[in-house]
Chains A and B, each alone.
Chain A
Amino acid sequence: MKRRLGALIRKEFLQILRDPSAIAIAFVMPASLLFLFGYGVSLDARHVPVAVVVELPDSDTASFVAGLAQSPYFEPQSFMDVTTARAALRQRQVEGILWLRHDFSRRLLRGDTAPFSIIVNGVDANSARLLEGYLQGVWQNWLQQRARTSGQPFAVPAYSTDRIWFNPALRSRNYLVPGLIAVIMTLIGALLTAMVVAREWERGTMEALMATPVTISEILLGKLLPYFFMGMGGMALSVVLALSLFAVPLVGSVWALSAASALFLLVALGMGLLISTLARNQFVAGQLAVIVTFLPAFMLSGFIFDIGSMPAPVQFVTHVVAARYFVSILQTVFLAGDLWPVLLANSAALAVMAVIFLGLTWRQSRKRLD
């Protein structure tokens, strides 16, 4: 029993090491995803090009525009009139227009409301909303500062003090990179596992294996164990990169992270093996794994898109997406710490799914070809 299982595991590792496509899925794809999301994708608004149209320049407008230029969020560009600025917006040379009309200073002194206009490009709704909010923030800041320097009381009735918890710098990288670990482990646990089992069917090696005195549990364990180690390796690599290269804080404990990852990996492996009992060629297995495991882990896990802002039916669907629970664990452990109520509730959900998927696989697998 031990000798047979050992031989199967050894074979699996040799195959992974020598097969370029397995290496691509296990190492190249995770690494490129990490670099893409670590360096490339950012959901923050930074250095956004904004057209500034000042119809009647004076000291007030100059100080406002200077405040804008100092902010790390904007890259103001001056335009002579609003028509050319609009043309620039249409060509997406700028993302928004800040229009200070000729009566800006006069109305400001009079204490009037809304003395300037903001035009944003609503094609990219998310960026547009961010930009609008940031511009409002700059305006508020400038008003406060102006009031302080001129010694006038600031005339806003209510005044808010903002504090952002867990990710004070509001770096999107801080929550994207931990969430990626869920995607990477889905890739190794479900996609790679489903493909390698399907390949054994395709090449006829499964038939030869089954005609030997191995048991079905040895065949299943011979797949589970190697890919479990691969998945944990992928997790470790991602964590190291997250902490060192991308400077993501790890507030919670490493062991809570490892335990939750192991649990999630069992779910992913369960899904991968279950797919491979249904699909016996690599193409179908790959398609199924991408549609059933990888895409949901990407779209419906809350990794990029907030579950709370999804329509209710879609929110309901996310409950069967295992990655959802794991992303929530990851973001909590990395940014907030070991919050036991959150971790335990999500882990319980994962445990239930692991039992269901692995149990179904065990029931479905027989030592038969039909």
Chain B
Amino acid sequence: MAEAALALESCTKLFGREGAPVHALNQVSATVRAGRITGLLGPDGAGKTTLLRLAAALLLPDSGRVSVLGMDTRSEGMAIQQRIGYMPQRFGLYEELTVQENLDLYAALQGLSPVEKAARQQELLALTALGPFGGRRAGQLSGGMKQKLGLACALLRSPSLLLLDEPTVGVDPISRRELWHIIENRRAAGVSVLISTAYLDEAERCEDILLLHEGRLLVQDTQEALQGTLSGRCYRVRREGTPRRQLRTELAKRPGVLDATIQADGVRVLVEGGSPPAAPSEQWDAVSPRFEDAFVNLLRGQAASLQRPEPPPPPRRDLPRAQDGPAVIEVKELWRRFGNFDAVKGISFQVQAGQVFGLLGANGAGKTTTFNMLCGLLSPTSGTLRVAGQNLGRAAAAARARIGYVSQKFALYGNLSVLQNLDFFASVYGLGRQQRAIRRDWALSHFSLAPYARVNGQDLPLGFKQRLALACALLHEPLILFLDEPTSGVDPLARREFWSQINGLAESGVTILVTTHFMEEAEYCDELVLMSQGEILAQGSPQAIRSQAATRDLPSPTMEDAFIALVQAHEAGLRRAS
């Protein structure tokens, strides 16, 4: 058997936008070694899906050559498809068909004989724990179960090469662990795996790494080699009496520091090398490098265009910041029912002024439903909601004038320029002519959008789209800012920048409510609630929640460990009750 399960030789793939074709892949040469798990990493739009489709012979390169298991995709596409398993981003399941019918269909399509089929299906149903759900329609499965079924369909014929396109996006941490368990099980059976993911922590489970950025291959290396370059360069820094956020801002500016993020009860720092630029009274502990450090290290080393200085924090507005005064957001016994499905089941929480408050949970946990009710976009079935002192049921318009909202997909007008977008949103918020000019200039300078003022929204780089969306939501100087999944699919640098903006806003007294399914982002919040299936599992500061899950075996659990422990405890409780 050849050493390479997949080989790309200077492949270029263009996608036509009229006149100006976009490079989905630009001269990419890469190999995926047989019998190993290779991670395909990169932010949205990096070219991950295109590369996987080239490997599945669903696309042909404009130039260059792709060979899979020693066969050329141009001439032997059909033979390749006999030997690969491919799971597209949207699983490829027929929602009207049951679990069993989906498995039967794909078994027949992959040419399994009835005897083989029965044996394989039994094995896969056991592996995925989908056995009890054979008669349920695929459309009625949870996100995690759909993923597992999609994976089972791709595994029916025991492929030589398994291609998985972002199988873990938006899936709750428990399902994610189960999926990885299945993938590792297949790898042990000798299957080569190429898996794309936007979660950098998953890269740590891969043996080899391919890193794409804007259509180019930045890195192809083994996990160990990548982390090796970082050994002795990662630290956790603590200083008595200084809040983490402030310490982080300070450290990020210090020469020699490449990256500073808030983690657990300290600040995680990546340095350029040599001795750490520690200041007196600080405590620097060496920690083991993670993949995200490697990624940041690489991107910081890239061309100057990627060097983005941290924007200055917004001027202090000294908004009332009564920690013990009335809460800015008050939610009591909030229910929301859709048909006979309870999306939100009687949750209560309070948010104080100037806090960064997080709503954490997987897809389908009820985050977005809660969020839409808070913004006044959806009316609750029962319960009360007070936002900025207004009862949303009665004075929705008055409450809305005090909030800013950034939706998941950045609701900008793609064919309006940056200036036109800003003007439009300013007029929607009812700003006067003079005020509009002042705020527009503020947005352009504060978010460094001036060079892009005349560029259309759709042509902005993703990070700048995000800045523009944030700028638009801040034009009317809201007291409260709502952010719905603001960082999904964005590269880690843009994500860092985004959080430093958010921290700056919180410092100036704006209350921020944010939803996310990235567990590690919880660390940026002052206070958070963990949601699962419409209920709140835990509430408190990140440290408090993590410490709830601490056990003797796992003294300092990550937020993900904590989430899994809490969900399992909750489910066990339900079982005892019933």
- Residues of A that sit less than 8 Å from B by CB: 3-4, 6-8, 10-11, 14-15, 18-19, 203-205, 207-215, 367-370
Task: Report whether B94 and A11 are in contact in the complex, using a CB–CB cutoff of 8 Å.
Answer: yes
A205 contacts which chain B residues (CB < 8 A)? 92-94
B89 contacts which chain A residues (CB < 8 A)? 204
Segment of B1-9, B100-108, B126-134, B530-538 engaged in the interface with chain A: B100-108
Q: Does B97 contact A (CB under 8 A)?
A: yes
Which one, B86, B90, B93, contacts A211 given CB within 8 A? B86
Task: Report whether A203 and B95 are in contact in the complex, using a CB–CB cutoff of 8 Å.
Answer: yes
Q: A15-B97, A211-B81, A215-B78 are in contact. Are A204 and B110 (CB under 8 A)?
A: no
Within 8 A of A (CB), among B109-124: 109-111
Task: Report whether B56 and A211 are in contact in the complex, using a CB–CB cutoff of 8 Å.
Answer: yes
Task: Report whether B108 and A4 are in contact in the complex, using a CB–CB cutoff of 8 Å.
Answer: yes
Which one, B90, B96, B111, contacts A4 given CB within 8 A? B111
Cβ distance B288 to chain A, nearest Cβ, rounded Å: 38
Q: Does B455 contact A (CB under 8 A)?
A: no
- How distant is the Cα of A369 from the Cα of B106 in the complex, in angstroms? 19
- How distant is the Cα of A11 from the Cα of B92 in the complex, in angstroms? 13
- How distant is the Cα of A296 from the Cα of B110 in the complex, in angstroms? 41
Q: Does B335 contact A (CB under 8 A)?
A: no
- How distant is the Cα of A210 from the Cα of B222 in the complex, in angstroms? 32
Task: Report whether A207 and B92 are in contact in the complex, using a CB–CB cutoff of 8 Å.
Answer: yes
- How distant is the Cα of A207 from the Cα of B50 in the complex, in angstroms? 12
B105 contacts which chain A residues (CB < 8 A)? 7-8, 10-11
What does DSSP make chain A's interface, helix, strand, loop or mixed?
Answer: helix
Beyond A18-B137, A212-B106, list 13 extra A-B contacts (CB 8 Å). Answer: A3-B111, A4-B111, A11-B97, A15-B96, A15-B97, A204-B88, A205-B94, A207-B88, A211-B57, A211-B163, A212-B109, A367-B58, A368-B58
- How distant is the Cα of A8 from the Cα of B110 in the complex, in angstroms? 12
Task: Report whether B96 and A204 are in contact in the complex, using a CB–CB cutoff of 8 Å.
Answer: no
- How distant is the Cα of A44 from the Cα of B101 in the complex, in angstroms? 52
Most buried by B among A6, A19, A214: A214
Task: Report whether A7 and B53 are in contact in the complex, using a CB–CB cutoff of 8 Å.
Answer: no
Task: Report whether B59 and A14 are in contact in the complex, using a CB–CB cutoff of 8 Å.
Answer: no
Within 8 A of A (CB), among B61-96: 77-78, 81-82, 84, 86-96
Within 8 A of A (CB), among B507-542: none
Task: Report whether B56 and A14 are in contact in the complex, using a CB–CB cutoff of 8 Å.
Answer: no
Q: A7-B104, A14-B101, A208-B153 are in contact. Are A213 and B94 (CB under 8 A)?
A: no
B94 contacts which chain A residues (CB < 8 A)? 11, 15, 205
- Offer 24 A-B interface pairs, CB within 8 angstroms, sorted by A: A4-B109, A4-B111, A7-B109, A8-B105, A8-B109, A11-B94, A11-B101, A14-B97, A14-B101, A15-B94, A18-B96, A19-B96, A207-B53, A207-B92, A208-B87, A208-B154, A209-B92, A211-B86, A211-B88, A211-B92, A213-B109, A213-B111, A214-B109, A369-B53
Q: Does B60 contact A (CB under 8 A)?
A: yes
Task: Report whether B92 and A6 are in contact in the complex, using a CB–CB cutoff of 8 Å.
Answer: no
- How distant is the Cα of A205 from the Cα of B476 in the complex, in angstroms? 44
Task: Report whether A208 and B97 are in contact in the complex, using a CB–CB cutoff of 8 Å.
Answer: no
- Residues of B that sit less than 8 Å from A by CB: 53, 56-60, 77-78, 81-82, 84, 86-97, 101, 104-106, 108-111, 137, 150, 153-154, 163
Which one, A7, A10, A211, A214, contacts B58 given CB within 8 A? A211
- How distant is the Cα of A209 from the Cα of B89 in the complex, in angstroms? 13
Closest to B156 in A: A212
Task: Report whether A213 and B110 are in contact in the complex, using a CB–CB cutoff of 8 Å.
Answer: yes
Cβ distance B503 to chain A, nearest Cβ, rounded Å: 38
Closest to B98 in A: A14
- How distant is the Cα of A369 from the Cα of B57 in the complex, in angstroms? 9
Closest to B60 in A: A368
- How distant is the Cα of A146 from the Cα of B493 in the complex, in angstroms? 101
A8 contacts which chain B residues (CB < 8 A)? 105, 109
- How distant is the Cα of A212 from the Cα of B150 in the complex, in angstroms? 13
Which one, B77, B88, B108, contacts A6 given CB within 8 A? B108
Task: Report whether B91 and A204 are in contact in the complex, using a CB–CB cutoff of 8 Å.
Answer: yes
B81 contacts which chain A residues (CB < 8 A)? 211-213
B93 contacts which chain A residues (CB < 8 A)? 205, 208
Task: Report whether A213 and B78 are in contact in the complex, using a CB–CB cutoff of 8 Å.
Answer: yes
Cβ distance A215 to chain B, nearest Cβ, rounded Å: 7
Q: A204-B88, A368-B60 are in contact. Are A14 and B96 (CB under 8 A)?
A: yes
A208 contacts which chain B residues (CB < 8 A)? 86-88, 91-93, 106, 150, 153-154
Task: Report whether A368 and B59 are in contact in the complex, using a CB–CB cutoff of 8 Å.
Answer: yes
A10 contacts which chain B residues (CB < 8 A)? 105
Cβ distance A343 to chain B, nearest Cβ, rounded Å: 40
- How distant is the Cα of A8 from the Cα of B137 in the complex, in angstroms? 17
- How distant is the Cα of A215 from the Cα of B81 in the complex, in angstroms? 10
B57 contacts which chain A residues (CB < 8 A)? 211, 367
Closest 3 pairs (CB-CB, A-B): A208-B92, A204-B90, A7-B108
Cβ distance A281 to chain B, nearest Cβ, rounded Å: 14
A369 contacts which chain B residues (CB < 8 A)? 53, 58-59
B108 contacts which chain A residues (CB < 8 A)? 3-4, 6-7
- How distant is the Cα of A368 from the Cα of B163 in the complex, in angstroms? 17
Closest to B97 in A: A14
Cβ distance B94 to chain A, nearest Cβ, rounded Å: 6
- How distant is the Cα of A193 from the Cα of B464 in the complex, in angstroms? 42
Closest to A1 in B: B111
- How distant is the Cα of A168 from the Cα of B89 in the complex, in angstroms? 63
Cβ distance B244 to chain A, nearest Cβ, rounded Å: 42
Cβ distance A196 to chain B, nearest Cβ, rounded Å: 11
B92 contacts which chain A residues (CB < 8 A)? 204-205, 207-209, 211
Most buried by A among B58, B104, B110: B58
A3 contacts which chain B residues (CB < 8 A)? 108, 111
- How distant is the Cα of A10 from the Cα of B77 in the complex, in angstroms? 26
- How distant is the Cα of A203 from the Cα of B82 in the complex, in angstroms? 23
Closest to A222 in B: B109
Cβ distance A202 to chain B, nearest Cβ, rounded Å: 9
Most buried by A among B86, B89, B96: B96
Most buried by B among A8, A11, A212, A213: A212
Which one, A7, A209, A211, A368, contacts B84 given CB within 8 A? A211
Closest to B109 in A: A212
Cβ distance B202 to chain A, nearest Cβ, rounded Å: 21
A210 contacts which chain B residues (CB < 8 A)? 58
A7 contacts which chain B residues (CB < 8 A)? 104-105, 108-109
Most buried by A among B78, B86, B87, B105: B105
Cβ distance A247 to chain B, nearest Cβ, rounded Å: 39
Closest to A210 in B: B58
- How distant is the Cα of A214 from the Cα of B107 in the complex, in angstroms? 11
A215 contacts which chain B residues (CB < 8 A)? 78
- How distant is the Cα of A212 from the Cα of B104 in the complex, in angstroms? 13
Closest to B13 in A: A370
- How distant is the Cα of A215 from the Cα of B79 in the complex, in angstroms? 11
- How distant is the Cα of A269 from the Cα of B466 in the complex, in angstroms? 45
- How distant is the Cα of A208 from the Cα of B84 in the complex, in angstroms? 12
- How distant is the Cα of A212 from the Cα of B82 in the complex, in angstroms? 7
A214 contacts which chain B residues (CB < 8 A)? 109
Closest to B52 in A: A211
Most buried by B among A4, A213, A214: A213
B150 contacts which chain A residues (CB < 8 A)? 208
Task: Report whether A203 and B90 are in contact in the complex, using a CB–CB cutoff of 8 Å.
Answer: yes
- How distant is the Cα of A214 from the Cα of B108 in the complex, in angstroms? 10
- How distant is the Cα of A7 from the Cα of B110 in the complex, in angstroms? 11
Cβ distance B15 to chain A, nearest Cβ, rounded Å: 8
Closest to B16 in A: A370
Which one, B60, B78, B90, B109, contacts A209 given CB within 8 A? B109
Closest to A22 in B: B96
B86 contacts which chain A residues (CB < 8 A)? 208, 211
Cβ distance A274 to chain B, nearest Cβ, rounded Å: 21
- How distant is the Cα of A357 from the Cα of B150 in the complex, in angstroms? 35
- How distant is the Cα of A367 from the Cα of B53 in the complex, in angstroms? 12
- How distant is the Cα of A4 from the Cα of B78 in the complex, in angstroms? 15
- How distant is the Cα of A10 from the Cα of B91 in the complex, in angstroms? 20
Cβ distance B106 to chain A, nearest Cβ, rounded Å: 7
Closest to B88 in A: A207
